[in-house]
Amino acid sequence: MLKLTFDEANAEKLFGTRDENLRYLEERVGVSVQARGAEIGVSGRDDRSERLAVRLLEAFDRLLSNGGRVGSEEFRTGVRVLEEDAEIDLVEFFLDASIPPTLKRFIAPRNLNQRLFIRSVAAHDYVFAIGPAGTGKTYLAVAMAAAALVDKQVRRLVLCRPAVEAGERLGFLPGDLVEKVNPYLRPVYDALYDILGYDKTSKLIERQVIEIAPLAFMRGRTLNDAFIILDEAQNTTREQMKMFLTRMGFHSKAVITGDITQIDLPGTQGSGLLEALEILDGAEGIAFVNFTKLDVVRHRLVQEVVDRYGRWEAARSVRKERDR
């Protein structure tokens, strides 16, 4: 059994309410953890599980000493990240790639691809984030845009989506222009409310510092000093994608997010996102971040749903090919 001793203040935060973090560590990693005050003993089923548990606890102790935060979400993230890369520096992972603490809530990456995404957005003017639902693409993009606005790196946010129905027929929508496009842009609103708060978001939208609009209304514009997000980009046509990519002016940044497994375009119309990935591959100054089902950070069953649908669709493609 390996024994560790922590500062009492750090131990209380590290262990979690009623030692919930330690119980999670036992279940996920396969170790036994005995806590007595600020001292714990760790014994594992093998050397690897013991080393991972000790490395995690020591890293979070250093993180707390450096002013970092360790809640249940961060603790679970730390376990997942070390399982992906046992040599990673968790202190650097949380402090170096976290979004500036000027927002309503502290936001840090929950896996290695999220950290790559955050770093890519900081370093590039165009970033494509591709992956399944639940990987945090839209949420992180909105969070970084909000942080850039609060820190006065940009003067406005422009958030848009193509207005494509996901299989339903919504029919005639009453109201003015804003009310008509609201159903398509609700996920973006939800992210803004969570990150900035309802009152602040409403005021910024009212002052047009934050502009939320369907993609069709971007034609003919040049956006300077702006952080621009195109969400659900898999539902753009070739013309729409080209139009969007040529809207960016000076001192601006654009993030394009999409899930190529959920294309809702009618008929045989090709996805502008798929074509852009091929056309822009290797272009200097443009970054591509590919999320997978392993990066899903919603409810644990979301990852299971994504996985099962992926397997079902792959099997169906094989059957179709075989029946030809």
Mean pLDDT of the chain: 86
Q: Would you say 49 and 29 are in contact if contact means Cβ atoms under 8 Å apart?
A: yes
How confident is residue 93, by pLDDT bands cut at 50, 70 and 90? confident
Where residue 306 falls among pLDDT bands split at 50, 70, 90?
confident
The token pair at 46 is: 């093998």
Tokens of 102: 């000027």
Query: How does residue 103 score in pLDDT terms, banded at 50, 70 and 90?
Result: low
**What letter does residue 86 receive in the DSSP assignment?**
T
pLDDT tens readout for residues 183-199: 767 778 888 888 888 99
d(CA 109, CA 81): 10
- Look-up of token digits 């979004």: 99
> Quick one: CA dihedral 102, 104, 105, 111, positive or negative?
negative
Structure tokens at 62: 């250093």
Measure the CA–CA gap between 117 and 20, rounded to whole angstroms.
30
| Angstrom distance (rounded) from CA 18 to CA 22 | 9
Reported confidence tier of residue 168, pLDDT bands at 50, 70, 90: very low
Q: What is the pTM of this model?
A: 0.78
* Tokens, residue 149: 């606005």
Higher pLDDT, 203 or 297: 203
Q: What is the pLDDT of residues 1-50, one digit of tens each?
A: 788 888 888 888 899 888 999 999 999 888 999 888 888 888 887 888 88
Q: Can you give the three-state secondary structure of 104-137, one letter per residue?
A: CCCCCCCCHHHHHHHHHHHHCCEEEEECCCCCCH
Residue type at position 16: G
Assess whether pLDDT exceeds 90 at residue 129: yes
Q: How far apart are CA 322 and CA 324, in angstroms?
A: 6
Query: 199-237 pLDDT, tens per residue?
Result: 999 999 999 999 988 888 888 899 999 999 999 999 999
Strands (E), 37-152: 39-44, 126-130
